Amino acid sequence: MPTATAKVNGVTVAETDSWETVEGNIYFPPSSVEKSYLKPSNTHTHCGWKGTASYYNIEANGKNLSDAAWYYPEPMEKAKHIENYVAFCGCTLLLAESFKLHYGRNTGRIEYWMYS
């Protein structure tokens, strides 16, 4: 599996070679996320099959992004594999790879960079 890195304003906030992809979003294991850049948000949303998501604001290198990361602390059964995994938007996501990956959607808020 290629290494995935999430960066905000040049700062690496998460990096792993073991991640999950759900609905075009890359979810980072909790142990791969630098929590010092994440501040809990009061925002919560609900997905019919994943459950209730909680959000983080990201503060890194002078840049503040509201609700730019989310996770499912108590996901529904079909989403148990991403419990507490963190996904990001509004930041740069790098994938080191030797083959081309395709995702179902790109919201336009995450930049996907592919390189070998």
pLDDT (tens digit per residue) in 31-48: 999 999 999 999 999 999
The pLDDT-based confidence of 1 (bands split at 50, 70, 90) is confident
Q: Which whole-number Å values give the CA distances from 82 to 27, 65, 74, 113, in the listed order?
A: 7, 23, 10, 23
pTM equals 0.82
In CATH terms, is domain 39-91 a member of 3.40.50.720?
A: no
> What is the pLDDT, as a whole number, of residue 2?
83
Query: What is the percentage of the chain residues whose pLDDT exceeds 90?
Result: 59
Rounded to 5°, the CA angle 26-32-34 comes to 105
Domain range annotation of the chain: 39-91
